[in-house]
Amino acid sequence: MYIYIAKSNIVKQLYHLILCIAVLTSCTTHNTSIQSSGTIGNHALVSSAHPLASAIGLEIMKNGGNAIDAAIATHFALAVVYPQAGNIGGGGFAVIRMNYGTINSLDFREKAPALAHREMYLNAKGQLNDMQSTHGLMASGVPGAVDGMFALHQKYGTLPMAELIEPSIEMAQRGYALTPLAAELLNTKQEEFQTYNRWSTPYHSDQDWQAGDTITQPDLALTLEHIQTNGRNGFYEGIVADQIVAEMQSKNGLISHADLKNYQSVWRKPITGNYRGHQIISMAPPSSGGVALIQLLQGTEGYPIADWGHNSTKTIHLMAELERRVYADRATYLGDPDFINLPVDQLLDPRYNEQRFSDISFDKATPSALVSAGEIPPSESPETTHLSIADADGNAVAITTTLNSSFGNKVMVKGAGFFLNNEMDDFSSKPGSPNQFGLIGGEANAIAPHKRMLSSMTPTIVTYKDQLKMIVGTPGGSTIITSVYQTLLNVIDHGMGMQEAVNVKRVHHQWYPDEIRVESDALTENVQTDLAQLGHQLRMTDKIGRMDCILVLPDGRLEGGADPRGDNTALGY
């Protein structure tokens, strides 16, 4: 049992810092200028989606905590200040590398409830009702985030867990100031909040939210106190579990007390590979991220993209051709390894990928209709959030966590103060039909009770000559894999620093729809014309991903790359 009696000096220092940052964020507008170099940390660094969360993680390390302690504290803080994706009602993945070289990864992905079944979103005619898998209580898988944080702490944590949660309780009780981006987002979600909630949440407002407005969350503070006092059982049993089940029973929800009590995170062997002398350490299934990333890098390594140039016609063409093939494999072969045998070793075999990519032509694009999954020889919202942390001892952690869509299924648990996920949409609700991100899924990812749904989350750590080199990750739904891929290429091939690698514009292809998604100003007019002549369809979009990354510089200092596309903030000391 976890019992917390008195606030420590660490918490007092943290909350003083929180108040200072809150005052600053309430008085400023979103910084639209883009820094070409990132925050430098001589000893340790945190990069996350919100300045307050990053500040809490950094202070934890200044006061003796390691990278895992800081990650846990940052995660709980994001549940308070970044409710569209930071969460205790969702799940995610963690990739860890300790300073003595040990690597590990934790799967705390949500699971389908016991009452789930493969046709639960189909009507009598077999037609898909995709709103049920994205909005409302039927869309929720069993949350894994809280269990994941306790599993991380039990194996690697050093400070008391109660001390890591306390700053988030303080923020939820006393309130925090909205950033301009946060206020803008809340204003776009008011109708959905009203439609899917049977009570007025702290995020409801009859008037538009403004930057600097204060949000207080007393119900969430009480939930965090239950967790602080009773450990994981403070969420999966007792009052909070009763509140979750009562919410489910109010309208078509499936999660039961047994589902909650029986949830367990799983330690998994990370996916590893090599690219131009660098070791890539990423997440295994049920994340498709690690497998797909290594496939993409294997397909890239034989080409001189540094000579071709960043976002040149040949570079973009190659990436798109690789991506359409890798995403076809993802749709066909990947799912929950606890339910089906996955051909991971075959997909990562360089001989397979050499054959897989051998039909790429630089004279024309391959229509996706002509691309199917490769022949495997015998023998897987964009509202997610990522944090990268390196401590003074060289420990590193990359955590990507999500509710799936922005604010998940849009339902806040009455009396508990947190949103539930809509991760059931990441299953193949109807194999062959796209989900909300346009991703096609197959039988390997069909719905089944207690099964984990396939994910694109790609928390990744990179080493070079057995030394830590990078910590990388992002939200972005189906674009996560390609955003991580491009960021690695930007550093390794194109010689960029971390902040520059995060800043530059991105592109994305995912097999279907058969198009290259392109951020505004990513490509010159000449490159766009050349790609069109090769047969590519281009679709312009506003933003792809929100990276939070760390690069170890040659002199041993740390450079943070915090994405200017959001409120992302890197802080170091």
Asked if 419 contacts 411 with a C-beta cutoff of 8 angstroms, the reply is yes
- The 10 Å CB-count burial string (b at 16+, else e) for 322-354 is bbbbbbbbbbbbbbbbeebebbbebbbbeebbe
Taking residue 95's Cβ as centre, other Cβ atoms within 10 Å add up to 32
CA distance 510 to 516: 8
3-class SS letters over 111-129: ECCCCCCCCCCECCCCCEC
Please name which of 12, 9, 80, 91 lies closest in space to residue 48, comparing C-alpha atoms: 80
Question: Coil, helix or strand for 63?
Answer: coil
**Length, in residues, of the chain:** 573
SS3 214: strand
Q: Which residues on adjacent β-strands are paired with residue 400? A: 93, 386
Q: Is the dihedral of CA 203, 209, 210, 213 positive or negative?
A: negative
Q: Which of 380, 381, 398 is nearest to 389 (CA)?
A: 398
| List of E strands, 366-426 | 383-390, 396-404
Task: Report phi then psi at 499, rounded to 5.
Answer: -65, -40
Catalytic one of 25, 384, 401, 458: 384
**Main-chain phi, psi angles of 130, to 5 degrees:** -70, -20
- Distance between CA 138 and CA 218 in Å, rounded? 26
Residue 385: how many CB atoms within 10 A of its CB? 31
User: Which residue, among 106, 48, 11, has the nearest Cα to 390 in the 3D structure?
Assistant: 48
Residues 473, 459: contact at Cβ < 8 Å?
A: yes
> Other CB atoms closer than 10 Å to residue 109's CB: what's the count?
30
384 carries an active-site annotation: yes
The residues that bridge with 570 in the sheet, in sequence order, are 47
Say how far apart CA 170 and CA 340 lie, in whole Å. 44
Q: Which of 437, 452, 411 is nearest to 113 (CA)?
A: 452
**Dihedral over Cα of 377, 367, 540, 529: its sign:** positive
207 three-state secondary structure: coil
End-to-end Cα spacing for the chain: 34
| Cβ neighbours, 10 Å, residue 190 | 15
Active site residues: 384
